[in-house]
Amino acid sequence: MANDPAASLAAAFDPERFRARGHALVDLLADHLAGIAARPVLAWLEPEAQRERFASLLAAGGGEAAFEELARRALEGAIQLHHPRFLGHQVTPPLPVAALAELLTAFLNQSLAVYEMSPAATAIEAAVVRWMAGALRLGERADGLLTSGGSLGNLTALLAARRAYTGHDVWHEGSAGGPRLALLASAEAHYSVSRAARIMGLGREGVVALAGDERLKLRPEALGPALDEASRRGLTVFALVANACSTAAGVYDPLEPLADFCRAKGLWLHVDGAHGAAAALSPRYRALVRGIERADSVVWDAHKMLLQPSLVTGVLFREGARAGETFSQEASYLLGRSAASEPHNLSHRTLECTKPALGLRLYATLLVHGEALLADHVTAAYDRARELAALLEASPDFELALPPESNIVCFRHRPPGLADEEALDAHQERLRRALLERGELYLVQARVRGRLHLRTTLLQPFTRARDLAALLDALRAAAAAI
């Protein structure tokens, strides 16, 4: 029979097929959620075998019936973020309502570059940005945008800082002939900060990395000498990047004295709150971000601590007008005159041209569950980290790297008789690998003060004391088996 493209397309868009497939998919996911604890966190397959599962499915031709099979294989081959023993990276199990909002987002496929392509989604983004800025108490003039991830968020904020604070218009004039620019940042800063500096053409010397104190926090008294030293080397520092909190060990820099320093020296204060700005929601842990309201810019990832599917990053400016100054460019088919004359066209604020509608999922969460659910989640997750720390401290065969401030806990297994640091590093790596392949629990590793540690981020809402105890037992069992 001759191929009829119009008929094929009509069938592909058929509303009744969509309805049936959608119901079946939601049933599959709901059953999966209901039975999650009985599954492994990760059904480990070597990469080649995993590749084969999907190469063969595609090669078999698929067709109508294959969608469910695809969903089933994707579920089986996924790391299970909804599992109570997912204790690894800072990637959250999405709330069901946020996942459903994601479907709505995908179906509508709005692009927020210009308002006319996304009237509702633009208004939703504005509401979400306002909520985030309000939670951080950035003040009446605050504004910002949502973008695709903390890495892009850090770059966007630092571009705004350079534009505002260097006195040399690199955007229009290029960097040649201007000062040699640099940032001050904690040595614990996420790698996206130094990557942003490189992208901005600041080069190898563009980040002056500052060692922290014994708790890995930036030392306010070290900033002045570091600034003087940078200036002796011919660098013009325009911004300070603080962590709230750091990635590896989850440590908060002391934001108030850092804000004082920046004000005194005329520097832009950027707070990378990708993970830990969420502490602002928790009455118990809010003090960790005291001073964040004085930042010039803050990056906050809702896909880390706010139970949102990736990616939803707020880039928030205390002086909201800065949001529109970062990317000043003309594109006659898209952009009008200036960000100030058309604040509803968000293309002025972001690197993205097709700017996805990232706000809907968080808006749906706030609407349906309220801010209190998120606040409770943050509080419980941070509490749980303290619970794990207490368990580790009571166990002579484990060693805590630092008392946790956030919900990130780094520690080592220290079997009797193993004292050599290199051997201890290798021991942690072997333990992690053993757990990975067994698939009952998932945790990761990080270097803290140069030594390899096991690292866990406790952001799974269903992790309980028994799961924390099981983590220690599983590590002991793996150590015994090695």
Ligand X SMILES: Cc1ncc(COP(=O)(O)O)c(C=O)c1O
| CB of 446 vs ligand X, minimal distance in Å | 11
Please pick, from the candidates 125, 272, 293, 352, the single residue that binds ligand X as defined by CB under 6 A: 272
- Say how far apart CA 167 and CA 238 lie, in whole Å: 10
Q: Taking the alpha carbons of 361, 367, 368, 369 in that order, is the dihedral positive or negative?
A: positive
Least Å distance, CB 302 to ligand X, is: 10
Does 151 contact ligand X by CB under 6 A?
yes
Characterize the bridge pairing of strands 235-243 and 268-272.
parallel
Among 150, 212, 309, 343, binds ligand X (CB under 6 A): 150
Rounded least distance, CB 386 to ligand X, Å? 20
Specify the residue, 196 or 237, whose C-beta has the smaller distance to ligand X. Answer: 196
Six token digits for residue 224: 């002045």
Q: What are the beta bridge partners of residue 445?
A: 454
- Please select the residue that binds ligand X; options are 275, 318, 348, 349, rule is CB under 6 A: 275
What is the side-by-side strand order in the sheet with 313-317? 143-147, 313-317, 297-301, 268-272, 235-243, 180-186, 207-210
Q: Does 309 sit near ligand X (CB under 6 A)?
A: no
| Locus of tokens 């080592």 | 412
| Residues in contact with 19: Cβ distance below 8 Å, sequence separation at least 6, in sequence order | none
| Pattern 365-394, ligand X, x by CB under 6 A | ------------------------------
Q: Which residue is nearest to ligand X (CB)?
A: 150
* Shorter beta-carbon distance to ligand X: residue 90 or 350: 90
Q: Where are the alpha helices (DSSP H) in 4-65?
A: 5-12, 15-34, 47-59
State the CB neighbour count (10 A cutoff) for residue 208.
Answer: 19
- Residue from the set 93, 94, 149, 404 that interacts with ligand X by CB under 6 A: 149
SS3 for 156-213 is HHHHHHHHHHCCCCHHHHCCCCCCEEEEEEECCCCHHHHHHHHHCCCCHHHEEEECCC
User: Binding residue for ligand X (CB under 6 A) from 92, 105, 166, 247?
Assistant: 247
Nearer to ligand X, 190 or 413 (CB): 190
# residues near ligand X by CB under 6 A: 13
Among 129, 164, 239, 274, the residue binding ligand X under the rule CB under 6 A is 274
If the CB atoms of residues 254 and 415 are measured against ligand X, the closer one turns out to be 254
Sorted by sequence, the CB contacts under 8 Å of residue 291 that are 6+ apart come out as 254, 255, 256, 257, 258, 259
Please identify, among the stretches 73-81, 117-125, 144-152, 453-461, the one whose residues bind ligand X according to the rule CB under 6 A: 144-152
316-345: contacts with ligand X (CB under 6 A): none
Residue 427 binds ligand X (CB under 6 A): no
Nearer to ligand X, 88 or 150 (CB): 150
The DSSP bridge pattern shows strands 408-413 and 451-457 to be: antiparallel
Q: Which residues pair with 268 in a beta bridge?
A: 239
Closest separation in Å from C-beta 149 to ligand X = 3
Which x/- pattern over 54-93 shows residues binding ligand X (rule: CB under 6 A)? ------------------------------------x---
DSSP string, 401-465: SS--SSSEEEEEE--TT---HHHHHHHHHHHHHHHHHH-S-B-EEEEETTEEEEEEE---TT--H
Measured from the CB of residue 105, what is the shortest distance to ligand X in angstroms?
Answer: 17
Rounded Cα distance between 291 and 307, Å, is 25
Residues 152-211 that bind ligand X (CB under 6 A): 190, 192
Shortest reach from residue 24's CB to ligand X, in Å: 32
Which residues of the chain form contacts with ligand X (CB under 6 A)?
90, 149-151, 190, 192, 247, 272, 274-275, 301, 311, 313
